[in-house]
Structure 1
Amino acid sequence: MLDRYLPVFIILAILAEILGTVGGFGSSVYFVPIANFFLDFQSVLGITALFHLSSNISKIAMFKKGFDKKIVMTLGIPAVLFVSVGAWLSKFIDATMLTYLLGIFLIALSLIFLIFRKLVVTPNVKNSIIGGSLSGLSAGVLGTGGAIRGITLAAFKMDKNKFIATSAIIDLGVDLSRSIVYYFNGYMRKEHLYLVPILLVVSILGTWVGKKILDRITQEQFRGFVLFLILGIGIASIVSEVWK
């Protein structure tokens, strides 16, 4: 099926990368449900991890001027540790129930921060560890944890360029870790590896277009956009499972 609809798949992957860049939390949030139309779920997990590696390298290269070293450590290390746990658990856990819980969680938190716009979560070690652990676990089990990391960074009210650079560096470590586990789980199938160079080009193009869009919006518009995207992702997660 994928070979037959490859041009459509590529166009949708580019859109996912653009939205992931503008939203600041990576393309997997959009890419996973897109790829799920063309591939089985385990193959989706494997190809998403490889796609995200090139995607994050592109973001780091284009947004390299600033990132928060403290948050990279306090949020990133728990994310890397828990993504390995989540990737291993993906063989045993029913992803449907977790998708419902993730959707409810994202809807609730995004609405709280949209309604109470002055609310700020202190970017301390405790909050970073919680956000990193949850995002890593979600990334390992469901293939995407960027929305949880995004809601954490949005709550910290980070500068948009620092937000994206920090998120990409954390995500790079997450994707390296889960790629290893997915490989040993048998999720990376030889017949799909031809997609890797295609998705490399997609990641560069999508990140470049996303950066051009970001240059034209304000910091407050960026934060609002992130929260509305996360709200939409939460609703779409629940609706997609109900539809199934």
Structure 2
Amino acid sequence: MLARYLPIFVILSLIAEILGTVGGFGSSVFFVPIANFFFDFQSVLGITALFHLSSNVTKIAFFKKGLNKQLILSLGIPAVIFVLIGALLSKYFDPIILTYILGFFLITLSLLFLIFKQLKVSPRTKNAIIGGSLSGFSAGLLGTGGAIRGITMAAFKLDKNKFIATSAVIDLGVDFSRTIVYYFNGYIHKDDLYLIPILIVVSIIGTWIGKKILNKISQDQFRNFVLILILAIGIISIIFN
């Protein structure tokens, strides 16, 4: 990436981190389409995984008021298993087609919940396992799966702080696992490593700003905001694919 575009990239990354924090499902859903403007797809996967590692550690530190251990196990373990599968298969699938599929899926699902407000996913262990598997596979293959995890976790009606902290712990396991696979796939390039310290600072500042915004939002506003963000993610995935 040319040095002259670095300030723009950093500002957009900060916005992605703020929105990802407020939404509760991580910054990758915004960061991946943003980074695609500056890097090739495989480099985006590698940078996103490294960025997310620091981002999730920061979120755990800022939102440490309780964790849902049952969700960490029932949703997190399948997510870690399937992110490995998705990351291993990422070499063999056309990411453009998969991004379109993900975009249409997110648009349909978010509109369904926004229009039919009484419609809810049943907070069952089975649904947590399915949601974790889908989000992990999507994260490994496309670089982002937090929106699917967010929809699944919303069914369990967690407090805002617990929602974000639990999501961050699960995401930490997902990112650590896929980073290893991406490294052996050759997605992490030495020329891009200078961005990591910059993105660590971005993750800290963005999470702090996001937490301040969250303190002024009610639980209902929070749920609607999450769904609207997921809708926006789907639209962005299709338009800028």
TM-score when normalising by structure 2: 0.97
Distance 2:187 2:118 in 1: 43
Distance 1:127 1:216 in 2: 31
RMSD: 1.0
Consecutive unaligned residues of structure 1, counting only runs of 5 or more, are none
Q: How many residues align?
A: 241
Amino acid at match of 2:60: I
Distance 2:10 2:198 in 1: 8
2:75 match: secondary structure: helix
Distance 1:109 1:192 in 2: 35
Amino acid at match of 2:68: D
Q: Does 1:183 align with 2:160?
A: no
Equivalent in the alignment of 1:199: 199
Aligned-pair distance for 1:163? 1.0
Aligned-pair distance for 1:237? 1.2
Equivalent in the alignment of 1:65: 65
Amino acid at match of 1:140: G
Equivalent in the alignment of 1:103: 103
- Counting aligned pairs with the same residue, the percent is 73
Distance 1:68 1:89 in 2: 31
Distance 1:40 1:114 in 2: 34
1:4 match: secondary structure: helix
Distance 1:146 1:231 in 2: 13
Greater shift in the superposed pair: 89-98 or 169-178: 89-98
Distance 2:89 2:2 in 1: 27
Distance 2:201 2:96 in 1: 32
1:121 match: secondary structure: coil
Consecutive unaligned residues of structure 2, counting only runs of 5 or more, are none
1:38-84 CA distances to partner (integer Å, 9 max, x unpaired)? 11111110010000000000000000112211011000000000001
Q: Does 1:215 align with 2:215?
A: yes
After TM superposition, the runs of 4+ consecutive aligned structure 1 residues lying more than 4 A away are: none
Aligned-pair distance for 1:216? 0.5
Distance 2:51 2:114 in 1: 31
Aligned-pair distance for 1:197? 0.7
Distance 2:203 2:193 in 1: 16
Residues 231-242 of structure 1 mapped to structure 2, 5 A cutoff: 231-241=231-241
User: Contact 1:120 / 1:156 at 8 angstroms: preserved in 2?
Assistant: no
Equivalent in the alignment of 1:3: 3
Distance 1:98 1:133 in 2: 16
Aligned-pair distance for 1:2? 3.6
Equivalent in the alignment of 1:51: 51
Equivalent in the alignment of 2:74: 74
Q: Does 1:146 align with 2:143?
A: no
1:81-117 CA distances to partner (integer Å, 9 max, x unpaired)? 0001000100001112211111111111111111221
TM-score when normalising by structure 1: 0.96
Amino acid at match of 2:51: F
Distance 2:92 2:3 in 1: 30
Amino acid at match of 1:41: F
Greater shift in the superposed pair: 121-130 or 214-223: 121-130
Equivalent in the alignment of 2:172: 172
Amino acid at match of 1:227: L
